[in-house]
Structure 1
Amino acid sequence: MHEEQAIDTERKKNDLSPEQMLKVIFDYTAKIANERNLDRVLMHMADMGREMVVADRCTVWLLDQQKQELWTKVAHGVSELRIPVGAGLVGLAVATGKPIFIDDAYNNDEYRHVLSSGALTTDQLTGYRTKALMVIPFRNNEGEITGCYQAVNKLTEQQVFSAMDMEYLTLAASYSGKSLESAMLTNEIEETQKEIIFTMGEIGEIRSKETGNHVKRVAEYSYLIAVGLGMSLEEADVLKMASPMHDIGKVAIPDAVLKKPGKLTDEEFKIMQSHTMIGYNLLKNSNRHILKAAAIVAHQHHEKWNGRGYPQGLAGEEIHIYGRITAIADVFDALGSDRVYKKAWELDRILNLFKEERGQHFDPQVVDVFMEQLPKILEVRDLYSDEILNADVPE
């Protein structure tokens, strides 16, 4: 890590030329405009600010009005941070709407006052040592302050920011504040869609006396497998949001079949199988990309690689990759959980079955990636265990 930072410092010891500055601006504004994921929008913004002013670190802080906090989920060198809205110099900049420019933080009266007052600073939270510092508030389209840029420690030989750096970071803040409003609106819409999809998915599971954590686990398993297969993060996110709907068709299955503790008759099994077509028919006419993916998952998650699944008897790559991924995620969670008709299987027994069914029930490549991702999958299983869920429910 230290070697990487040393190389980075060496590479960035000079201020950018006008041509380099334009390239950075054009590159990052294009990335931000085309990005849907809020975390990655924020990271692009932080990277753009850092490169423009040749800083060691750049953080994009957002104002949470409801909690009266400033927070950053994406920052160079740290994980998520939250501080009271008036804390530190970032809080001061947001409160006053004025930029802050400091050459030597620990020899600056204003900064030392923040430390001596006991107010939280990012240095205290992270153990990082700030020298040069700039904080630039940014505003939304209505002119309201919604957060700020914080650039820390100049990497040139002078090790101090210039008036031109402040102009550049102000430019980045002006663009970012307005772009962020659009990105947050898109994120809010997608989070609402996700919440609705999870809720609808839970309805199907609750009817069969299973927990909502089943759909959460299947969603997370599907995401991990998709990423392991080399899918883009965007497509993996789509599958993660869509997979909770895999059993939505169960809402139309009679209780006598759905909740039967013993083995189903042939006729009852045909009724149970119909949940794939019911789910597909519920979702197939949507023009929303998440619900289109959910229609595929609902339709195909019981197809088998060898062509002996249902409802269509698709084989091999005739089965959409979403269906192939959700199939193994769903079976893993179903076998590892207590159900009305069986006790949970031990992990070794499940893994042995997957090895036997590699190339039969399951896509061989998906099985291989599942095995590679198993440590992370087990972490998810523990995080969203039914025991934890049940422990939160009062008797």
Structure 2
Amino acid sequence: MNDDRRPAGAFKEELTPEQLLKVIFEFTAKIATADRLESVLILMADMGREMIVADRCAVWLIDEERRELFTVVAHGGGEIRIPYGSGLVGTAISEDQSIIIDDAYEDPRHNSDNDKRTGYRTKAIMTIPFRNNEGRVIGAYQAVNKLTESGVFSDKDMEYLSLAASYSGKSLEAFMLREEIVETQREIIFSMGEIGESRSKETGSHVRRVAQYSYWLALGLGMSEREAALLRDASPMHDIGKVAIPDAILHKPGALTDEEFDQIKGHTLIGHQLLRHSKRELLRAASIVALEHHEKWDGSGYPQRLKGEEIHIYGRITAVADVFDALGSARAYKQAWELDRILALFEAERGRHFDPRVVDSLIAQLPRILEIRDQEAEV
């Protein structure tokens, strides 16, 4: 088994104070803007590794429900799970103590299973628990194999990684709180979307399907996963303005008068006004969807008769998702259309009602969209 001896030229130097500050500023700025837990953990692990010149660094978290410790970041590996309290990291977390050892294989607490599985030789290890704002241990940093000539971690390394751990614990708690707030926003938006749809006898399944269709259409257009997810979470509010339309008009069995149809069309402006003043990105996106999902590519839509790319991409995507689902869904007043008939309509309206690129994305993403339609079928 490799004992990790390196030729002199392969060793790295300790960071200078200036280099250390640069690493800290660079990574804390990136962590502050990360939008996924996995990204936050990767950045934290990378920051710790560079600060103390280690070969690998992992950020371990506690899975309270399963009574396990897990890391989604292990340089050179994937997710690892171990029973709570096992191994060096388990000891550090359960006993709330920092640990430095020069050779893991001389310490009976070291769990060598992962080394056996991967062929990696763990030697020097440093493990430091981190806490949330209430002082409760929520995880630990673990650095493996010092890359300088000494080959072991020092008290200075402990000081530096403790600094990273203190920052990381607070950042993780803030991130998780932010995620909880966003998830609450999503639930509220979805519930409000269901209310808007129920006013016109649509269903919660329709809202879920339109949300998922919008997400995949956006990805098919080359939008980032983050923006596609934002649209997915905002699209359920597209008909929220219908809460202000009288039932007598929404549920009128016969043809609408011009005046009544104008009132129906007003739901786009009402929804926009309800949401437009929010400072939350999600609600601002929802206000755009509410306002523009009935605009048409050729300028004949409402409420602003926008044309082509004057229509926000969110509105263009939601229009396709909404119409596709409406046509394929059975209602008391109509039968569901067959798929061939729906696709023929989109081909006919490509460049008239709908953005041609979004229609192309619909065709490209059709297998995924049909799978969603089956999964979210109405009972």
**Paired residue type of 1:279:** G
**Superposition pairs of residues 1-395 of structure 1, within 5 angstroms:** 14=12, 17-18=15-16, 21-53=20-52, 58-65=57-64, 68-72=67-71, 85-101=84-100, 108-112=107-111, 123=114, 128=118, 131-132=121-122, 133-151=125-143, 154=145, 156=147, 162-163=153-154, 166-255=158-247, 257-259=249-251, 264-267=255-258, 269-382=261-374, 384-386=375-377, 390=379
Q: Distance in 1 between the 2:353 and 2:308 partners?
A: 10
Find the residue that maps to 1:109 and give its secondary structure: coil
Q: Distance in 1 between the 2:120 and 2:150 partners?
A: 11
How many residues are treated as equivalent by the alignment? Answer: 365
Give me the identity figure in percent. 61
User: 1:105, 1:130 within 8 Å by CA — same for their partners in 2?
Assistant: no
Find the residue that maps to 1:150 and give its secondary structure: strand
1:149-207 residue CA offsets vs partner (Å, 9 max, x unmatched): 2345x495989653365554333222211222222222222222122111111222334
Q: Distance in 1 between the 2:181 and 2:90 partners?
A: 29
**Paired residue type of 2:276:** K
Q: Distance in 2 between the 1:286 and 1:14 partners?
A: 50
1:313-361 residue CA offsets vs partner (Å, 9 max, x unmatched): 2111221222112112222232333333333344444344333322211
TM-score normalised to structure 2 length: 0.79
Q: Distance in 2 between the 1:288 and 1:134 partners?
A: 41
After superposing the two structures, state which structure 1 stretch, 84-93 or 187-196, moved more: 84-93
Question: Cα distance 1:178–1:351, how it changes in 2: closer, same or farther (>3 A)?
Answer: same
* Consecutive unaligned residues in structure 2, runs of 5 or more: 1-9
Deviation of the 1:292 alpha carbon: 2.1
Question: Cα distance 1:283–1:170, how it changes in 2: closer, same or farther (>3 A)?
Answer: same
User: 2:297, 2:307 within 8 Å by CA — same for their partners in 1?
Assistant: yes
* Superposed CA RMSD: 3.7
User: 1:13, 1:155 within 8 Å by CA — same for their partners in 2?
Assistant: no
Q: Distance in 1 between the 2:285 and 2:78 partners?
A: 31
Deviation of the 1:46 alpha carbon: 2.8
User: 1:257, 1:264 within 8 Å by CA — same for their partners in 2?
Assistant: no
After superposing the two structures, state which structure 1 stretch, 322-331 or 162-171, moved more: 162-171
Q: Distance in 1 between the 2:53 and 2:367 partners?
A: 38
After superposing the two structures, state which structure 1 stretch, 71-80 or 295-304, moved more: 71-80
**Paired residue type of 1:329:** A
User: 1:15, 1:53 within 8 Å by CA — same for their partners in 2?
Assistant: no
Deviation of the 1:297 alpha carbon: 0.8
What's 1:8 paired with? none
Q: Distance in 1 between the 2:100 and 2:325 partners?
A: 54
Q: Distance in 1 between the 2:334 and 2:214 partners?
A: 24
Q: Distance in 2 between the 1:171 and 1:249 partners?
A: 50
User: 1:218, 1:333 within 8 Å by CA — same for their partners in 2?
Assistant: yes
**Paired residue type of 2:60:** W
1:58-80 residue CA offsets vs partner (Å, 9 max, x unmatched): 43233355665545556656776
**Paired residue type of 1:131:** R
TM-score normalised to structure 1 length: 0.76
1:263-319 residue CA offsets vs partner (Å, 9 max, x unmatched): 743455444333222222322333333222211111111111111112222111221
User: 1:103, 1:131 within 8 Å by CA — same for their partners in 2?
Assistant: no
